[in-house]
Amino acid sequence: MTGEAEDLDRDDDGVLDEVKWINVDSVSVIGAGPGDCVYGDVIVGPDGASVPAHLYRCTPDGTWQFGPFMIIGGLDTPGAVNAACLRPVQKGGS
């Protein structure tokens, strides 16, 4: 499954119409306004009035933290160590 050009929630009701994979991990990123579809158990956001621009998964506890809007110095390289998780995660939803 490439996911390219596929609408997996065709009626936009927040329920996936098809699941073509096995979940390894998931996080839903939301903004400040109503109407964001949430497909994962973990909900992160909003970051002020905006959708978080970047997220990091903290280890060893597995919590999520907002990352900076501008990524510099290779801090977003697959396999590299994430930036230090210093501030608490903000979670939205209910």
- DSSP 8-state class, residue 93: -
> Where are the chain's structural domains?
1-94
Q: Which tens digit of pLDDT belongs to each residue from 67-88?
A: 777 777 666 777 777 666 765 5
Q: Which residue has better confidence, 83 or 28?
A: 28
3-state SS, 28-71, equals: EECCCCCCCCCCCCCEECCECCECCCCEEECCCCCCEEECCCCC
pTM for the predicted model, two decimal places = 0.62
CA distance 10 to 13: 8
Model confidence at 93, in pLDDT bands (50, 70, 90)? very low
Give the pair of three-digit tokens for residue 65: 């933290």
CA distance 37 to 28: 8
29 and 52 in contact (C-beta within 8 Å)?
yes
